[in-house]
């Protein structure tokens, strides 16, 4: 990957049904722009990576550490390593940004869906 790139030039990866991402990775962190189709579910899971994120467009219902909250544009999260969490996209879907430290090495082996234009930026 080049050091300077545009989002639509990055390959997509299918994370879950209705959830795709484009990722920029460094040696110690990764930035993923994640697109969730309306009603898409990210099932409860956990990982050792720390994760920070925010909603760019649309909405999600986020469950983290026993707390559930609906988040729209500008809504943020902080997930410490090993903390279970899950997400459900709102009726219009969502685009979110996730930062992982270290990068999500497990995503590198995921399948690539057919190429498509990013939902963001418009």
Judge contact between 98 and 51, C-beta under 8 A.
Answer: yes
Show the domain range for 70.
7-106
Total of domains in the chain: 1
Classify residue 31: in a domain, yes or no: yes
**Residues ≥6 apart with Cβ < 8 Å to 31:** 23, 24, 25, 97, 98, 99
Query: What CATH number corresponds to the domain at position 99?
Result: 2.60.120.10
pLDDT recorded at residue 15: 95
| Mean pLDDT of successive 10-residue stretches along the chain, which has 122 residues | 89 94 95 97 97 98 96 98 97 98 89 86 84
């Amino acid at each position: 990957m080049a050091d300077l790139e545009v989002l639509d030039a990055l390959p997509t990866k299918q994370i879950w049904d209705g959830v795709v991402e484009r990722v920029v990775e460094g040696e110690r962190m990764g930035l993923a722009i994640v697109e969730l189709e309306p009603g898409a579910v990210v099932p409860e899971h956990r990982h050792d990576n720390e994760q920070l994120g925010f909603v760019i467009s649309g909405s999600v219902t986020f469950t983290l550490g026993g707390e559930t909250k609906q988040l729209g544009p500008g809504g943020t999260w902080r997930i410490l390593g090993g903390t279970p969490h899950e997400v459900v996209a709102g009726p219009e879907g969502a685009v979110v940004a996730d930062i992982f430290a270290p990068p999500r090495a497990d995503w590198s082996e995921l399948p690539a869906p057919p190429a498509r234009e990013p939902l963001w930026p418009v």
